[in-house]
Structure 1
């Protein structure tokens, strides 16, 4: 198993120095992220932060991942260990590697390119600094890479095994030209790859300085101790849960071509300080691009487990030594070649998370996480009026997050598996960057699942794409509610998506997935919303009043669902007599 790594020596280490070292490494990844945001050329990086920075020890075990998206960095160790496997004995100072393939290189999906830079101190390999970032376009059958018509991975763009892009400090110009040649946006890619290289160079320099301060042997021992500490914290957290076995599942209703139920099933077993996630019984891999590779599945499970437990537990790979994952080959959680899988970092990643959350909630209901609304939005691509290809993600149609005990769900947040780590860009900046005019972008009233803690609201989004081209549909949450409530909380509202030609006003079809050739058009989205936590009658009436004033909950819903009657002027609570004890 990839996560069966040897536990390091239990030699005593100063806990204060351990804490300082973890903070130092985390801060370095944050520095790397800042460099990437400020120097990358694509808005997907500079505005939306669809990238992740992480650091590993010399064995390829992740020791820090403070900046980025958990679905990226949770499987980062798979990628670094692929470098160690493929270039054993040939990793030298000033080398840099690049990879993406989910089958042979430890990648998530093809658009996520990972730059991996080894870190040396005194001529000895001590670790790696990495940046995994979603490229604007990598070729394939659709601009922007999300080719909903793909039936095999060869339709999805260039596949990168582990490659050496910089050799002994010299950029490989032949490989560089090959990469740019396979993108519809070579100008963006050139700047973005430069930003990735720069961020890892600064990260490697900083990491080397930290290790050198302690000396190589002591520095390596402290990196090992960080992993050991993470393991101890996770084992204690698992041991605090009751022993037993619980089962849960999530269902998708399309394979991107036909209506069909696709089940992600998991059996979670807790035995002492160990936990097993067994996906036996999950549906076979499908025709469309919603299949997951093994690295992505591990990352999804780690994301679900870490978000369920105490947030102070470190986010390094030692944490997952007590986690066993059973993912049968040939299923949607461990697809075999040549299954397509560009959508896997969203679906089935979210389905995996939902199934894991559902099972874990049975073990400890107080920690239960309500479901986030599944996405209802599109990607537009075409030629800019001034020339050059643009790829526009309609992030502003993003869904609401699920509630947890003590906190309402995030409103109109990025996808569930980012846990809010990806940002919704500024509308005005987007209009300057793309041929786009936004008419409406506002919170969607009565969409968040009612509860003691309310689900995050979706949005009403209406915008015109002013040039023709391609429109890629991603509307998993448009046909039924997907943000599950928990502990008596209600489900979040389902979404919808409609498209109209600008010239004629004629509406054209918006299937859950598709690649459409379009003229200038208007996009109208009702974004789905997150589920609530706890019965609505347990919600603080003052919070219900606030939600009504803010337009997030209607006066009627406050009365009928929450049992709180609000005055006509929305200034006060008239009565809570209709509420019953729960």
Structure 2
């Protein structure tokens, strides 16, 4: 490393880059038109250097940003020397443009200082609707990518400061909600402009972009220190995928993590072949999931840039669920198999460093999008981001009861219910933590959510069957138990109940939707849980009196307010025997 790149300045540069990522996110949140951006934060801002290496992903969702370097390198590949100041690029395609799935559009703005390309300011955001066979970016019947919406190779949306109006009209023509898309893309462009201005100011202040190489090298050293604690050897694990969207299947993600002296090899040999449904992953998406699994396993202050993974070799066999061949459908891949990739790696790493083990987070039982007509006319597309699942417990901490799902690591937030009732023809009846959902353990898994709301207009309900319904939604570790399974959204109409068992579009009049999200796994022997914690859970309504005795060997008095000390002592003694 250049000796002039002192550690203090490197730390300041990394923090400034991360702050710029956050600033871009704040701009997007405050200016986007759709609530999935302004409320749920289903977008992510990141920064890459002039070579397309990710140098900051502090904002948003790791599944968006971890593969961001692929998108920028696709721009450099396709446009080479034709990148000039005030250009803005647009892309999405997972096969040709470094995308993860088609709804996630990337806006990338090159940053120039004194005529030299130094970086890219980027925003990846899941668009409300991109055409295709069903409203809302998810086509339940898709069996190839052509069914899923408009495919965007690397394009210049703005050329040297001039908007390509013909391309803009093409984009608006290929969405059911052009007003929303128009406002959201403009917000993305604005966020990258702010980011580019801040990055240029940083480079001018420190006098060079060599510091970007320095922060990448620093992250490499930090990660090497982290993985050096892993036991040497090859650690294998797998995670099931039980449904392809059309029928039950017996697929699996298989991984072998080899820990050597100079790096890690993450090999997915043995993973099931690509499937007919949309749970197939692109290289960028699978890489992002691998990076997320590795980064989240170690200390939270590990630098989150591409330099951290220089010592990691990822092997993704072509034609499998983790590297599908075209024209495989891919819309679900940021959720599944990304969940399975992360879980499988966590299981493998836990064998090499058990004290860092995490129980499984709950998988998404079903992806639902609601599309209808407002009472006064005009189309709407609503994503029910209001109901999160439970996350897994770790040593020293219960799982969070409701959180943005695993591939967001909590970066996606639950929208304000009152705002949703204002924006859409819906009314929420309840939104509460499940009782007896969380996986029992010395530290309990997150409970998941029990939610119910009315939809007042006829609508299409687009269901994509996820995972964790036919079997447990999560797994326990160190003696902990798995969390409760998800029960996909139910449609109740005059007493009838619809339980989706395959990908489908259901057209219904005004209905009530009800569902239970999955729950996280527990950590450690449940019979070792502090009885006072069990009592608190009973008082909070998230563990029943019966489950307290059955799962935790803690007897609660009939009024649910106190521990029956004598009965509890008997139960614990019997459990120990």
TM-score by length of 2: 0.96
How far did residue 570 of structure 1 move?
A: 3.6
Q: Where does residue 423 of structure 2 map in the other structure?
A: 433
> Is it true that 1:469 corresponds to 2:459 in the alignment?
yes
* Gap runs ≥5 in structure 1: 1-8
C-alpha contact (below 8 Å) 2:442/2:523 kept by paired residues = yes
Are the counterparts in 2 of residues 449 and 529 from structure 1 also a CA contact under 8 Å? yes
Contact 2:105 2:125 in 1 (8 A): yes
Q: Provide the rounded CA distance (Å) in 2 between the counterparts of 1:289 and 1:224.
A: 37
What's the counterpart of residue 32 of structure 1? Answer: 24
Correspondence for 2:213: 224
Q: In the alignment, is residue 497 of structure 1 matched against residue 496 of structure 2? A: no
For residues 495 and 489 of structure 2, the distance between their equivalents in structure 1, rounded to whole angstroms, comes to: 12
Does residue 356 in structure 1 map to residue 348 in structure 2? no
1:388 equivalenced with 2:378 (yes/no) = yes
Residue number in structure 2 paired with 1:486: 477
In the alignment, is the contact (CA less than 8 A) between 1:447 and 1:493 conserved in 2?
A: yes
Q: Give yes or no for the alignment of 1:537 onto 2:513.
A: no
The offset of 1:187, in angstroms, is 0.2
In structure 1, the residue corresponding to 2:333 is in which secondary structure?
Answer: helix
SS in 2 for 1:343: coil
Which residue, 205, 208, 212 being the options, matches 2:200?
208
Match of 1:68 among 29, 54, 60: 60
The structure-2 alpha-carbon separation of the partners of 1:384 and 1:364, relative to structure 1 and needing over 3 Å to count, comes to: same
Given the superposition, is the C-alpha separation of residues 500 and 72 from structure 1 closer, same or farther in structure 2, using an over 3 Å criterion? closer
Structure 1 residue 328 and structure 2 residue 320: aligned?
Answer: no
Per the alignment, in what secondary structure is the counterpart of residue 345 of structure 1? coil
Q: What are the ranges of 5 or more consecutive residues in structure 2 without an aligned counterpart?
A: none
Q: 1:236-263 deviations in whole A, cap 9, x for unaligned?
A: 1111211011111111111111221111
In 2, Cα distance between equivalents of 1:362 and 1:500: 42
Question: What is the CA deviation profile of residues 31-81 of structure 1, one whole-angstrom value per residue up to 9, with x for unaligned ones?
Answer: 111110010000110110000001111111111111100000000000011
SS in 2 for 1:319: helix
Counterpart position of 1:105: 97
CA shift at 1:560, angstroms?
A: 2.0
Aligned-residue offset at 1:581: 5.1
* CA distance in structure 2 between the aligned counterparts of 1:47 and 1:391, rounded to whole angstroms: 15
The two structures have a TM-score, normalised by structure 1, of 0.96
In structure 2, what is the Cα distance between the partners aligned to 1:456 and 1:385?
A: 38
Separation (CA, whole Å) in 2 of partners of 1:210 and 1:416: 33
In the TM superposition, residue 466 of structure 1 has moved relative to its aligned partner by: 1.6
- Which stretch has the larger CA shift, 508-517 or 196-205? 508-517
Maintained 8 Å contact 1:501/1:520: no
> Which residue in 2 is equivalent to 1:367?
356
**Residues 480 and 512 (structure 1 numbering): CA distance in 2 closer, same or farther, change over 3 Å?**
farther
**Aligned residue in 1 for 2:136:** 144
* 1:10, distance to aligned residue in structure 2 (A): 4.9
| Residue of structure 2 in register with 1:134 after alignment | 126
SS in 1 for 2:332: helix
Which 10-residue stretch deviates more, 518-527 or 353-362? 518-527
Equivalent position of 1:296 in the other structure: 285
Maintained 8 Å contact 1:501/1:519: no
| Structure 1 residues 1-46: Cα deviation after superposition (integer angstroms, max 9, x where no partner) | xxxxxxxx45452111111111111111111111100100001101
The residue aligned with 1:4 is none
Give me the whole-angstrom Cα distance separating, in 2, the residues matched to 1:554 and 1:30. 41
Q: Is contact 1:238–1:273 with CA below 8 Å preserved after alignment?
A: no
CA contact (8 A) 1:308 1:357 kept: yes
**Residue 257 of structure 2 corresponds to which residue in structure 1?**
268
Deviation readout 1:398-433 (Å, 9 max, x if unpaired)? 311111122211212222111110011121211111
Given that residues 479 and 496 in structure 1 are in contact (C-alpha distance below 8 angstroms), is that contact kept between their aligned partners in structure 2? no
Question: Match of 1:186?
Answer: 178
Contact 2:247 2:502 in 1 (8 A): no
The answer as to whether partners of 1:477 and 1:528 remain within 8 angstroms in 2 is yes
Q: 2:112 aligns with which of 99, 113, 120?
A: 120
* 1:150-172 per-position Cα deviation (integer Å, ceiling 9, x unaligned): 01100000000000011111111
CA distance 1:428–1:385, shift in 2 (3 Å)? same
Q: How many angstroms does 1:512 deviate by?
A: 4.1
Distance (whole Å) between structure 2 residues aligned to residue 78 and residue 352 of structure 1: 19
Decide whether the 8 Å contact of 1:232 with 1:319 is kept in 2.
yes
Q: CA RMSD in A?
A: 1.4
Query: What is the match of residue 56 of structure 1?
Result: 48
- Say if 1:581 and 1:225 are closer, same or farther in 2 by CA, change over 3 A: farther
Q: Is the 8 A contact 1:498 1:507 kept in 2?
A: no
Question: Would you say 1:455 and 2:445 are equivalent positions?
Answer: yes
Shift of residue 470 of structure 1? 1.3
Within 5 Å, give how 1:410-429 maps onto structure 2: 410-429=400-419
- Please tell me whether residue 195 in structure 1 is matched to residue 187 in structure 2: yes
CA distance in 1, matches of 2:561, 2:438: 22
Aligned with 2:517 (options 498, 502, 527): 527
Number of residue-to-residue matches in the alignment: 570
Deviation at 1:453, TM superposition (A): 1.3
Measured against aligned partners, the alpha-carbon deviations of 1:326-356 in whole angstroms (never above 9, x if no partner) come to 1110001000100000000000100111111
Cross-structure match for 2:238: 249
Q: Deviations over 1:67-120 (max 9, x none)?
A: 100000000000011111101000000001000000000001000000000011
1:359 to partner: Cα distance: 0.8
Equivalent-residue separation in structure 2 for 1:399 and 1:512 (angstroms): 21
Give per-residue Cα distances to partners, 1:181-239, cap 9 Å, x unaligned.
10001000010001000000000000100100111xxx322111000000001111111
Deviation at 1:269, TM superposition (A): 0.6
In 1, distance between residues paired with 2:109 and 2:41?
20
